[in-house]
Amino acid sequence: MDIELLKTFLEVKNTRHFGHAADNLFLTQAAVSARIRHLEELLGVTLFSRGRNNIQLTSEGERLVLHAETVLLAWSRAYQEVALETNQVRQVSIGARYGIWTSVMHSHLLALHERLPDVALRAETYPAETVINMLMDRTLDIALSHEAPVFRELECTPIGQLKLVLATTLPRSKRNAETALASNYVYVDWGSQFSRFHARTFPNAPPPALRTNMSSTAREFVSASRGSAYLPSSELAIASQPKIFRVTEAPVFERPINAIYRAGSDCIELIRDIIAHLDGVEL
């Protein structure tokens, strides 16, 4: 199968518009439509329901998304590794579940680059279940996740902790949990365990002003709107102005950070070196 068909499929999925997908891919709209029809014929299914100004994935299209992303990632990895052989450069891919790539992790990546200048690093974020699947598919070398894996071929090393605190830009006189949750509160989706913690701790909380799974978006919204959100404690010291403060009376939510990798990886020593460098990270 031509991987360009999968690239086109994902672009239409992302834009929900054949014309916009064509612009992004530098193709004509007719070419995009022809590629999607060709892919549908190859698979024997309909991938999109086509209404006027309403392009939606069918159930078959939904099921293809993860497979298409996995194939393209595997192809990209293979292409890069073959090209890198000429220069004797090693490559390591690190995938983290949403919420772990904070500013602290960015600084660790820079330190890793300086420590291992001959290593080409790749770092991306994915849903929690996806990083484990990608490890099993060998499209990732290291996964950073809160959950420990259940597969025997995977090793798990605790490297740190995520500490979430209720943070706000409200003045000191209003800096309490009740007021914070009623003042432009941003609910950040930190996963199912955080959801249960939040519901148990604040059963009568009013609806949030914003829901998001991006901590950077939450931080900027809070900074700009005199709002509040549960954020990593490490981000409070580097948050943009106005200053963001911790609501000290509010409960803290903590989760471990694990580095997960395949025990039989062909770059196991490099993986262990990187994990040792990340050990002790506090978010």
Q: Give the bridge partners for 56, in sequence order.
A: 49
Q: Flag whether the pTM goes above 0.75.
A: no
Mean predicted confidence (pLDDT) in 119-134: 79
Fold of 67-160+256-282: D-Maltodextrin-Binding Protein; domain 2 (3.40.190)
Stronger pLDDT, 129 or 271, i.e. the higher one: 271
pLDDT at position 210, please? 93
Domain boundaries, the chain: 3-66, 67-160+256-282, 162-254
First-to-final CA distance of the chain: 42
Is residue 215 within 8 Å of residue 102, measured between CB atoms? yes
CATH for 162-254 is 3.40.190.10
Q: What is the pLDDT of residue 14?
A: 85
Query: What are the counts of helices (DSSP H) followed by strands (DSSP E) for the chain?
Result: 11, 12
67-160+256-282: same fold as 3-66?
Answer: no
| Rounded Cα gap, residues 35 and 57, in angstroms | 16
Tens digits of residue pLDDT in 143-198: 888 887 778 888 899 998 889 999 999 888 788 999 999 989 999 988 888 999 99
Q: Name the helix (H) or strand (E) containing 160.
A: strand 154-168
Q: Does domain 3-66 have CATH number 1.10.10.10?
A: yes
As a whole number of angstroms, the distance between CA 2 and CA 236 comes to 47
The dihedrals phi and psi of 272, each to the nearest 5 degrees, come to -65, -35
pLDDT, mean over the chain: 84
Q: How confident is the model at residue 80 (pLDDT cuts 50, 70, 90)?
A: low
Render pLDDT for 223-278 as a digit per residue (tens, 0 to 9).
888 899 999 888 776 544 458 889 999 999 998 889 999 888 888 988 998 898 88
